[in-house]
Structure 1
Amino acid sequence: MPTISYEINKLKNDRYAIHVRLSDGLKRVFRRKTGLTINIRNWDTKSNLPKQIDEIEKLKRKKLIDLREEIYNRYDTAILEEQEINKTWLDDCVESFMGIRKTTDKDRLTKYFDYYIKSVLPYKSQKGKTKGVSNRTIQKYNTLKDKIISFEKHTNKEYYIKDVSPKFGMEFDKYLSEVEKLGESTTGGYIAALKTMCMYAGDKDEMKNHPKVKSIGVYTGERKIKTILSIKELEAIKDANILDESLQIARDWLIIGCNTAQRVSDLLPLTKENIVTIDGSEVIELTNRKTGKELYIPLFDEVKEVLNKYDGGFPPNMSDQHFNRQIKKVAKIAKLTYLEYGELNNPETKRKEKGEFPKWKLVSSHIMRRSFATNYYGKYPTPLLMQITKHATEKQFREYIHKDAMDHVKQFEYEIEKKKKEANEKSKIVKLNNVG
């Protein structure tokens, strides 16, 4: 007849884990965690069971007594069926009775990334409107998985979904910041994505995650320095005396980009075929590479002026890298040589560094979309601009151009004052006409 008892092993402070101990009479002893813990003061050393001091401890005591009876019954059945009694057999007994889910290969953090990327993200509902996430989001999770693999090598440990806790979040955050040398916004984005995935694993996939996974701290990082080309600076670029043909082409693409809000990946492939007439209006028609959605952009005068140079079409194409190099030269020729606070990549550290730099050095293809949003803001209704920039909400749009939530109120007040002045002017004209 086997002997089944309980013993406790220290965790931290006054908490102890309760283990079941099985001795089968053949000098073999097997142990298994029950999944229950207890304060040392509540443990009865005579019965090796929880003291009956409150409802919680009474429930634990009853559960352990029932588990012991279950193991005895299964033991008898196992002997009759000539099953092997070993650690695995005891694990099965405890896990089945206590409702403990077995850890599988899928529970490994890196393995769950594979499942989440292939089987969840492509079908995940986006606010009940669309199915699936963008390629950029999938790329983000693939990169995050690579960071976790590097973190496991750094700590010489394998991590499971259940290990992702607030403490894990802080340690991973520290690794990304100090070892990988990533910026706050990038690090914060990775922590938020990891938290989202692990919460999904527990809520939707019924996997065992850490009970405090929802308490993992997330943040957006420091407010980004957002460099733009002002209308005055764009005029200087437009009027600059540039003789080199390649630089002229780069300048023309830059002017188009700053007046269409397009990313370089959507801008440079444009050809004359992208110019179409809809309901009597000439527009640029394209499919946005990031969202896959069709986009129609009005032809502003600044764009038409450039297109006229190329017989109504777009300038000759050039690579993204060449474009970025050339527009810096264009900005330098246009005398954008004054210092401006911004961010530049340090070629030695390969990280962005903040500081004061000549403005021309801060000019890159990323400047075009934000320049459009900033320069046209207030001249046209924000919802119309959002149709071109493809921001989902006005809040996102205002944050993108560093406008506060009260800015639209200021605009409204300005329009009211403007209309009052116009009304006063009309009133004066009417009075003068009456006098005459």
Structure 2
Amino acid sequence: MKATAFIRKSASKNDTNSVATIYFRLRDGKKDIKAASELTINPNHWSSEKQGYKDRVALVHEEKKLALNNEVQNIINLISQEYTPEADSEWLSTLIDKYHHPNRYKTEEEIAAETKPTLLDLFAEFLVKHKLSEVRIKNFRVVQRALARYELYVRATKRGQKGFILDVDLVTPDTLRDMWDFFQNEYQYYELYPSIYEAIPEKRTPQPRSKNTLIDCFSRIRTFFLWCFDNKRTTNRPFDKFPIEECTYGTPYYITLEERDRIFNADLSATPQLAIQRDIFIFQTLIGCRVSDLYRMTKLNVVNEAIEYIPKKTKEGNPVTVRVPLNDKAKEILERYKEYEGKLLPFISEQKYNDAIKKIFKLAGVDRIVTILDPLTHNEIKRPIYEVASSHLARRTFIGNIYKKVKDPNLVSALSGHKEGSKAFRRYRDIDEEMKKDLVKLLD
């Protein structure tokens, strides 16, 4: 079988206005069929040998010549690919017309599929239309980028899936299990498939994800699917047969008031920058806010000898103003920095703040061993507290020490900015040995 292109019209040598239709011919043994296309060319410019423009044609732009030559070759290739022994003139005419007007031959299902939004299109719409705090939007965008990389990963690794696109209607529990495997092992794919991470980068190299992190990621994907279902964007509910476990946390550890005072009174004059960050850490233990809320504070947050703020995490859900009266230590720290302009205190980046906290603990001799849950293995491990200290330890110190005194989660949540009935307080019920001893004494 051989497919070729030809024209039937000739023109005088200086005729630059004539136009000839380009025909296609298919020969296979005794079969010889022809059909016209919608492509045209000046007969003087046609090369039968090249089946396209001659090499040197004056007054015709190179891009125009290249475009027509490509079209001719595309139709020849299409005829060769689609040819069957039953082909006739009508078949050839239809094939060429289909090439020029593909939409005429599409089914309603194909047209609907082309106009249907992809899962990632819907995810972008979800982030705009679903009410989320700024913090949660950032977290959802991490998942959005990971889903986009999963799409590229499937195209690169699964046979026959080069055109793979996530479709909200076609995600199954098996798809979710495959996604889970990708999310869990993504840190290994960074070097194997660098083009994926060049296309959809992250600020830092992918690290191993703990089970809790994976649970958080898939809880967000489930929230997205429920939004799609509630807004009639799909009838698909793949999470009905893909249960997500609860996150597992160890018992919260925090520093005692004695350890806090040891840090507060430590001589850090040799490292003045650490002394400043020590003051900020102690101040955070005295007001109990998250570090994201602390870093947004200015002197305007000090109102009638108290700190007032709306927690960023719950700001858009059910905004409540948290008011924490300042004790003498907190007032003393603010007095030290009353001349500082801008933010409430001399904040540095959160990462540098966390690094400084570890150094401060070690210099202050706060080094007792604590039991923590390894996030990757979920095994208990023992570590000096200065190795695991961070800004969130300040918040836990505030909550733990107050909870130890009043044992009322609703009172503590009024100061800490937790939602009423927050699951976080379940963990604090196990933290105090003295509380346990008090209970046992009830049996005397």
TM-score (normalised: structure 2): 0.59
Q: For residue 285 of structure 2, what is the aligned residue in structure 1?
A: 258
Q: For residue 226 of structure 2, what is the aligned residue in structure 1?
A: 199
1:322 equivalenced with 2:352 (yes/no): yes
CA shift at 1:396, angstroms?
Answer: 2.0
2: CA distance between counterparts of 1:397 and 1:345? 17
Distance 1:311 1:146, change over 3 A: closer
2: CA distance between counterparts of 1:195 and 1:272? 40
Q: For residue 219 of structure 1, what is the aligned residue in structure 2?
A: 245
Question: SS where residue 161 of structure 1 aligns?
Answer: coil
Distance 1:223 1:382, change over 3 A: closer
**Aligned residues of 1:398 and 1:404 also touching (Cα < 8 A):** no
Q: For residue 288 of structure 1, what is the aligned residue in structure 2?
A: 311
Q: For residue 158 of structure 1, what is the aligned residue in structure 2?
A: 165
Which amino acid in 2 is paired with 1:216? F
Question: SS where residue 276 of structure 1 aligns?
Answer: coil
Provide, for residues 141-165 of structure 1, a one-character-per-residue CA deviation record: whole Å limited to 9, x for no partner: 2221211111112211322112221
Distance 1:358 1:320, change over 3 A: same
1: CA distance between counterparts of 2:174 and 2:386? 43
CA shift at 1:166, angstroms?
Answer: 1.1
Question: SS where residue 163 of structure 1 aligns?
Answer: coil
Q: For residue 121 of structure 2, what is the aligned residue in structure 1?
A: 111
Q: For residue 267 of structure 1, what is the aligned residue in structure 2?
A: 294
Provide, for residues 15-47 of structure 1, a one-character-per-residue CA deviation record: whole Å limited to 9, x for no partner: xxxxxxxxxxxxxxxxxxxxxxxxxxxxxxxxx
1: CA distance between counterparts of 2:166 and 2:212? 24
CA shift at 1:89, angstroms?
Answer: 6.7
Q: For residue 70 of structure 1, what is the aligned residue in structure 2?
A: none
Name the structure with the higher strand share.
1
**Aligned residues of 1:164 and 1:198 also touching (Cα < 8 A):** no
Distance 1:369 1:105, change over 3 A: farther
Q: Which runs of 5+ in 1 are unaligned?
A: 1-85, 122-131, 418-436
Distance 1:185 1:113, change over 3 A: same
**Aligned residues of 2:249 and 2:373 also touching (Cα < 8 A):** no
CA RMSD of aligned residues (A): 4.0
Question: SS where residue 366 of structure 2 aligns?
Answer: coil
2: CA distance between counterparts of 1:342 and 1:230? 17
2: CA distance between counterparts of 1:224 and 1:162? 38
2: CA distance between counterparts of 1:404 and 1:101? 59
Q: 1:176 is matched with which residue: 159, 162, 183?
A: 183
Moved more, 198-207 or 370-379: 198-207
Q: For residue 137 of structure 1, what is the aligned residue in structure 2?
A: 136
Question: SS where residue 306 of structure 2 aligns?
Answer: strand
2: CA distance between counterparts of 1:225 and 1:376? 16
Provide, for residues 357-404 of structure 1, a one-character-per-residue CA deviation record: whole Å limited to 9, x for no partner: 3321211112111111111104244322212222113342413x4426
Q: For residue 340 of structure 1, what is the aligned residue in structure 2?
A: 370
Higher relative contact order (CA 8 A, sep 6+): 2
1:242 equivalenced with 2:268 (yes/no): yes
**Aligned residues of 2:135 and 2:312 also touching (Cα < 8 A):** no
**Aligned residues of 2:284 and 2:294 also touching (Cα < 8 A):** yes
Q: For residue 371 of structure 1, what is the aligned residue in structure 2?
A: 397
1: CA distance between counterparts of 2:266 and 2:309? 30
Q: Which runs of 5+ in 2 are unaligned?
A: 1-101, 156-163, 188-207
Provide, for residues 294-314 of structure 1, a one-character-per-residue CA deviation record: whole Å limited to 9, x for no partner: 332111343234345456996
**Aligned residues of 1:192 and 1:218 also touching (Cα < 8 A):** yes
Which amino acid in 1 is paired with 2:174? K
Aligned-pair identity (%): 22
Q: For residue 300 of structure 1, what is the aligned residue in structure 2?
A: 327
Q: For residue 26 of structure 1, what is the aligned residue in structure 2?
A: none
CA shift at 1:201, angstroms?
Answer: 2.0
Distance 1:151 1:388, change over 3 A: same
2: CA distance between counterparts of 1:134 and 1:208? 27
CA shift at 1:287, angstroms?
Answer: 4.0
Provide, for residues 330-372 of structure 1, a one-character-per-residue CA deviation record: whole Å limited to 9, x for no partner: 11111123443347999xxxx9997433321211112111111
Q: What does 1:390-401 align with in structure 2 at a 5 Å threshold?
A: 390-399=417-426, 401=427
CA shift at 1:136, angstroms?
Answer: 2.0
Q: For residue 233 of structure 1, what is the aligned residue in structure 2?
A: 259
2: CA distance between counterparts of 1:222 and 1:147? 23
CA shift at 1:206, angstroms?
Answer: 4.2
**Aligned residues of 1:295 and 1:388 also touching (Cα < 8 A):** yes
Q: For residue 80 of structure 1, what is the aligned residue in structure 2?
A: none
Question: SS where residue 423 of structure 2 aligns?
Answer: helix
Q: For residue 416 of structure 2, what is the aligned residue in structure 1?
A: 389
**Aligned residues of 2:257 and 2:401 also touching (Cα < 8 A):** yes
* Bigger Rg, structure 1 or 2: 2
2: CA distance between counterparts of 1:305 and 1:319? 24
Distance 1:323 1:192, change over 3 A: closer
TM-score (normalised: structure 1): 0.59
Q: For residue 187 of structure 1, what is the aligned residue in structure 2?
A: 214
**Aligned residues of 2:119 and 2:166 also touching (Cα < 8 A):** yes
Moved more, 143-152 or 305-314: 305-314
**Aligned residues of 1:195 and 1:216 also touching (Cα < 8 A):** no
